[in-house]
Amino acid sequence: MNDIGLKITNNSKHIAKTPEADVTKTPKEKAKLAKAAQDFESMLTSMMLKSMTKTTGGMFGEESFGGDYFDTIFETEIASYISENKSLGLADMIYKKVIGEDLDMNKITKELQESRPSEIKIESRIKTENNSSPISPSEGSINRLTKFDDIIDKASKSFNIDKNLIRSVILTESAANPKAISSANAKGLMQLIDSTAADMNVKNVWNPEDNIFGGTKYLSKMLKQFDGDLEKSLAGYNAGPGNVQKYDGVPPFEETKNYINRVKGYMKYWENEL
């Protein structure tokens, strides 16, 4: 592909027709726009660098060993550095034109956090409480689980639940077998009993997407009910919230204790895999 030669004499000219400012954007939308504006500036800067070094055969010269490879790395890194340090100011101009205020990532991050207090609290509790030893899933269960990655990602975003927690519950409940059924008639990937499936509006418990969304919704309900306490929430998922309330904590059931340790062990495994 031919290099693109760029000649920019007036940076603001290229964004002069940006839509009028919209101050009704949510913190999440502001964060997405800020990231998009910075990515655009970084891309444009990279193209400018490529254009400027075109006559010399790149930063490392035409005859250098691996020059094309290192050119790409350095151009990307320098472009990203320039963008982050606001040397061109294009991201600022784009953001201000759309939102009507200066691009301040600290402010945007703070607004985003304040708009999602329950999610942050849950994630914080999960990370601080998970000090279990890792449990490695079998190769077969991992291979089955990866087939549902897209569904897990969507459920994670829909209910603000860590996707590694969803993965760990699925592995503990069914070893990622969508056709699993227990002696208590719990069904599918997240082992939903009929009453829970009905409460979570699950139309087809054997459908992986319906099952995962129903199970994640119920898990979210437990986390909210028990103020983000991971162990109590998992106990509620396994033994029912009534038993957690009855014993004012994790019930003294060996099955429930083993269940909690297994989920946390799988979560530790996923953390180490990142």
Q: Which amino acid is at 261?
A: N
Q: How far apart are CA 234 and CA 249, in angstroms?
A: 11
Q: How far apart are CA 22 and CA 19, in angstroms?
A: 8
The answer to whether the CB of 189 falls within 8 A of the CB of 148 is yes
Clarify whether 173 is annotated catalytic.
Answer: yes
The answer to whether the CB of 79 falls within 8 A of the CB of 49 is yes
Q: For residue 226, which of 239, 214, 213 has the smallest C-alpha distance?
A: 239
The answer to whether the CB of 169 falls within 8 A of the CB of 218 is no
Q: Which of 173, 209, 254, 273 is catalytic?
A: 173
Q: Assign 181 to helix, strand or coil.
A: strand
Q: How far apart are CA 6 and CA 52, in angstroms?
A: 9
How many alpha carbons fall within 13 Å on the CB side of residue 203?
2
- Supply the residues annotated as catalytic: 173
